[in-house]
Structure 1
Amino acid sequence: MEEATTATEWLEGRNVPKVSIYGVPFSRMSMDETMEYLTNVIEAKRPSQIITANPIMVMMGLEDAGFHRMLREADLVVPDGAGVVWAAGHIGYPVKERVPGFDLLHRLFLEGEERGWSAYLLGTSQEVIDEAAAKLQAQYPGTRIAGTHHGFFGEKEDPEVIARIRAARPHMLFVARSATTQEPWITRYKQELGVPLIMGVGGSFDIIAGRLKRAPIFMQKLRLEWFYRLLQQPSRFRRMLVLPQFALKVIRDKEKVTKPYEPR
C-alpha cells in the first residue's frame, strides 16, 4: 500500500510535457521518461488508458467528434507514428523521440520481470494470440501471462470477456482489435476492467507471433515502417492514403495546428 501511495503522489506531482496536434494532446516525453511514468501508473493501481497514436487516428478524430473526445480524454497519448513526430517538429514543438507501441510493449514486459507484473492479451485470432503469448512468456519469463482471449466478439460477449479479465487481475492489458473498435472499447470499459494499464497495440501480436515481419532497423530510422507494412499488406493501401493527406494538412494549417479543436 505504501508503494502505491508513493506512486500516486509521484503521478500527481508530474507535469507531462505535451504538444497539441489538432486538439490531440501528444506526450513529448522520451521512451525512458514514458516508461518511468507508466511504471508509476501501474504501481498506483489506477485504471489508465494509454493510446499509441498516429496520423491516421488524428484524421479519424477530425472526422468523428466522439473519436476525438476519446483521444483527448485518454490518460496518456504517445507519438507512435513517424508522421506525428514530423508534425510536432514542423510546428515548432518537437517531441523527444518516437515512442512506438511495439517497443513500449516489450519495455513494459521487461520491467514486469523485475516487478512481478502480469499481462493479459486480448485481440486477433485465438491461434495468433496464443502464439504471441507463448513467445512473450519465453522471452520474459518473469512477467506472467495472466490470460488470452481472441478479439472476435461483439457487444453481447463483452460482459463475459470483462469478467474473465477481472478474474485474472492483470497489471497490464494489451488490446489488438480493429482501428474502429480497439480504442473505443477500451474507453468504454476502462473503469469496469479495473486494470492499471490498458493499451491498444494494433498489429503487434501478428509480428510477435511471426505472422508479419517488422521493418528492418534502417527503414525504422528512415521513418518508413509504414511503407514496409504496406508491402506486406497491400490491402492497407486506402488507409495509407491518409498519411500524405495529413502531411499536406499540417503544412497548410501550420499556424492553426496547435489551436483548440472545434468539433464539426
Structure 2
Amino acid sequence: MNKTLLKEVPTVPIFGIHVSKWGMDDTIQYLTEVITSRTPHQVITANPIMIMTALKSATYMSVMKHAEFIVPDGTGVVWAARVGGEPVQERVAGYDLLHELMRTGENYRWRVYLLGSTAEVIKETASRLQQQYLGVEIVGYHDGFFGPEEDEVVVEQIRATTPDILFVARSADTQEPWIAKHKAQLAVPVMMGVGGSFDIISGKTKRAPMIFQKLRLEWLYRLLSEPTRYRRMLALPQFVVKVLRDRGNVTKSS
C-alpha cells in the first residue's frame, strides 16, 4: 500500500469523530485515487444516530475512529459542524455517493461486489445497477443473512473476485463493525456501508420525495414510512440537545 500517493483529508472532529470537510466532487476524486493506489479504506457515511451510538459504545467509537474516511451523510452532522465553527462543504449522502462512484467507475471499468439485504433484494439490486452502469462490472453479490461462523467463507468469496469497491448493506449495528473486523483481510480499496440503499435501488422501498430531501427531512419521511424506527430515531433529538449543550466542545479533538 502506498499511502504517500493520497492527499491529506481536511476533517472536522464531531465529538472526536473526524469527518471529512469535502463535498461530493472532492470525495469522488479522492476515492478514485484510493482505488488507483489500491489502498484499503473503510468509508463511513456518518449520521447523528451513528455518532450517538459511538458516544455510548467504546467498541463502536473505536470502529469510527479507525475508519480511513468518514463523510457527513446526515444533515445533523453538517449542522453540528457549523455550530462548532468548522463547517463542512456540503452533505455527502451515502445513497448519492454510491451512485456517483458507480457513474465514475464506468470510466475506469471498476469491479464492484454487493453484500447485504435479502437474497431477492440483492439479486435485483445487482441486476439494476449492472443495467444502469454498463461500464462497471458487478463481480459478485451475497445476501446479508449469515452468521459469524460463515464470515470467513464470505470474505474469501469477496477476495476471490478482486473488487475495487465493496458495498455492504446490513443492519446499522453490524454493518460498520463487520467491515472494520474484516477490512485487512478483504483488502478492498473502497469498503462502504450503504444502509438501506439496496432496498431503494431494487424497488422494495422508495427514497424520500425531493421536497423532503430539499427540506433536509429525509429522516422524517423514513419515520413516517416505517414507524417501527421510532426507537432508533430517538437518538436524533438527543444529538441536537448534546450539540446545543456542548456547542463549545463539539469540534474539539479528543
What TM-score bracket applies, with the shorter chain setting the length?
over 0.9
Match of 2:21 in 1: 28
Match of 2:59 in 1: 66
What is the SS of the residue equivalent to 1:128? helix
Match of 1:155 among 148, 161, 181: 148
Residue 260 of structure 1: CA displacement?
Answer: 3.5
Aligned-partner Cα distance in 2 for 1:168–1:189:
16
The 8 Å contact of residues 55 and 84 in structure 1, kept in 2 or not, is answered as yes
Q: What amino acid does structure 2 have at the position aligned with 1:120?
A: Y
Residue 9 of structure 1: CA displacement?
Answer: 4.0
The 8 Å contact of residues 84 and 249 in structure 2, kept in 1 or not, is answered as no
Match of 2:5 in 1: 10
Residue 249 of structure 1: CA displacement?
Answer: 0.7
Residue 194 of structure 1: CA displacement?
Answer: 1.5
2:200 counterpart of 1:207: yes
Aligned-partner Cα distance in 2 for 1:72–1:163:
26
Aligned-partner Cα distance in 2 for 1:156–1:16:
36
Aligned-partner Cα distance in 1 for 2:90–2:253:
24
Report Cα offsets for 1:86-129 as digits up to 9, x if no partner. Answer: 11111111110000010000001011111010100000101100
What is the SS of the residue equivalent to 1:223? coil
2:125 counterpart of 1:132: yes
The 8 Å contact of residues 86 and 251 in structure 2, kept in 1 or not, is answered as no
2:236 counterpart of 1:243: yes
Match of 2:227 in 1: 234
Report Cα offsets for 1:203-235 as digits up to 9, x if no partner. Answer: 000000011111122211111011111111111
Aligned-partner Cα distance in 2 for 1:142–1:16:
28
Match of 1:41 in 2: 34
Match of 1:101 in 2: 94
Match of 1:113 in 2: 106
Displaced runs of 4+ in structure 1, greater than 3 A? none
Aligned-partner Cα distance in 2 for 1:91–1:212:
35
Aligned residues: 254
The 8 Å contact of residues 212 and 232 in structure 1, kept in 2 or not, is answered as no
The 8 Å contact of residues 81 and 251 in structure 2, kept in 1 or not, is answered as no
Q: What amino acid does structure 2 have at the position aligned with 1:186?
A: I
Aligned-partner Cα distance in 1 for 2:71–2:57:
20
Extract unaligned runs of 5+ from structure 1. none
What is the SS of the residue equivalent to 1:141? coil
Identity %: 56
Aligned-partner Cα distance in 2 for 1:78–1:32:
12
TM-score by length of 2: 0.97
Match of 2:137 in 1: 144
Match of 2:165 in 1: 172
Q: What amino acid does structure 2 have at the position aligned with 1:49?
A: Q
Aligned-partner Cα distance in 2 for 1:15–1:118:
26
TM-score by length of 1: 0.94
Match of 1:182 among 175, 181, 184: 175
Aligned-partner Cα distance in 2 for 1:146–1:74:
25
Match of 1:256 among 246, 249, 254: 249
2:80 counterpart of 1:87: yes
Extract unaligned runs of 5+ from structure 2. none
Aligned-partner Cα distance in 1 for 2:19–2:214:
21
